[in-house]
Amino acid sequence: MYVVIGGAGLIGLNLAQKLVDLGHTIAMIDVDPKACRYAREQMGVMAFEGSAVSTEVLIEAGIRKADALAAVLRNDALNLAMVALAKHYGVAQILARMRHRDFAEPYRIAGATSIINAIDLAVSTLVNAIEYPQVESMLHFEQDQIEVLKLSIPTDSPIAGRSLAQISQDPSCPTGSLIIGYQAHLHEDLMIPNGNTVLEAESTILMVTKPGAIHQVVDFVLGS
CA atoms within 13 A on the CB side of 164: 15
Confidence of residue 35 (pLDDT cuts 50, 70, 90): very high
Whole-angstrom distance, CA of residue 134 vs CA of residue 84: 42
Tell me the mean pLDDT in the region 135-149: 69
Residue 174 burial class via C-beta count within 10 angstroms: exposed 0-12, middle 13-18, buried 19 and up: buried
In this predicted structure, the answer to whether residue 220 has a pLDDT above a threshold of 80 is yes
**pLDDT on residue 92:** 96
What own/partner pairs with CB < 8 Å and gap ≥ 24 does 45-50 have? Answer: 45/16, 45/20, 47/8
Pick from 204, 183, 186: which is nearest to 135 by CA? 204
In this predicted structure, the answer to whether residue 81 has a pLDDT above a threshold of 90 is yes
Structural contact between residues 134 and 204, judged by C-beta atoms closer than 8 angstroms: no
In order of their start, the domains of the chain are: 2-118 (3.40.50.720), 132-222 (3.30.70.1450)
Q: In what order do the strands lie in the sheet with 68-71?
A: 46-49, 25-30, 2-6, 68-71, 93-98, 114-117
pTM assigned to the model: 0.67
Tell me the mean pLDDT in the region 23-43: 96
Whole-angstrom distance, CA of residue 127 vs CA of residue 158: 27
DSSP 79: H
In this predicted structure, the answer to whether residue 182 has a pLDDT above a threshold of 80 is yes
Structural contact between residues 15 and 38, judged by C-beta atoms closer than 8 angstroms: no
**pLDDT on residue 120:** 72
**pLDDT on residue 126:** 72
In this predicted structure, the answer to whether residue 165 has a pLDDT above a threshold of 60 is yes
In single-letter form, the type of residue at position 80 comes to: L
Tell me the mean pLDDT in the region 99-124: 87
